[in-house]
Amino acid sequence: MSRPNMTGPQLFDWIGNNPHEWLFCAERLLTAARVIENRRDEIGDAALARGDHSPSHPDLNTIWIPQMLTAMAIECLVKGVLLRRGKTLAKDGKLVLDEDAKAHDLVALVERVGYPRFADARQALFRLTVIALSTARYPVPMHWTMRKPELKSGWGFHEDLSWSLVFSRQCDDVINWLRTELRK
């Protein structure tokens, strides 16, 4: 689908209300997450192969960045699904977002679009939201009550947010379902 010959607020609204644009954005974010994760894994594997169990390569500082990008991609996919179902997200050259979208609350957003295995994914979505909003993005959350604080040297305001393969698979299932919904 080609973009119409528009400028300014009209073009903004057309792009912001086009589900395909949100899908393209999500795919770019997911690709970036995979690239960073693969690079980090290569460096970590090489360090372990050398017997270095505490590698200090700068790329290893990206530990939470793929999850943040994945969270952003899920938000884009949800917004695309909402658009596909008739919601308006852009009006008069501005994004018109409700409180769940402004808060980047993946639990509320994914529940809203009716993900059928929501109960299974709830904890993974919650952890992904916290990682995206404070562990990867800022050294502290928006408010101290969002997370149980524990100061760890060099890691900022932190709690155990271990990211397991189970959580990763649950988020992959959500992403695949959202892609399917968006392409209907």
Residue range 11-35, pLDDT digits in tens: 999 999 999 999 999 999 999 999 9
In tens digits, the chain (184 residues) has pLDDT values of: 666 788 899 999 999 999 999 999 999 999 999 999 888 878 777 776 777 766 676 666 777 889 899 999 999 999 999 999 999 999 999 999 887 677 788 999 999 999 999 998 988 898 888 888 877 777 776 666 665 444 444 444 444 445 566 678 889 999 999 999 999 8
Q: Is residue 1 part of a domain?
A: no
Domain housing 149: 8-183
Q: Is residue 3 part of a domain?
A: no
Q: Is residue 59 part of a domain?
A: yes
pLDDT score of 71? 95
pLDDT score of 144? 63
pLDDT score of 159? 46
| pTM, rounded to two decimals | 0.82
How many domains does the chain fold into? 1
Cα–Cα distances (Å) from 17 to 4, 20, 95, 147, in that order, read 13, 9, 9, 34
Structure tokens at 39: 């690079």
Residue located via tokens 């658009």: 83
- Asked whether 29 and 69 are in contact (CB, 8 A), the reply is yes
pLDDT score of 40? 80
Per DSSP, helices labelled H in 50-164 are 65-84, 99-103, 106-112, 118-130
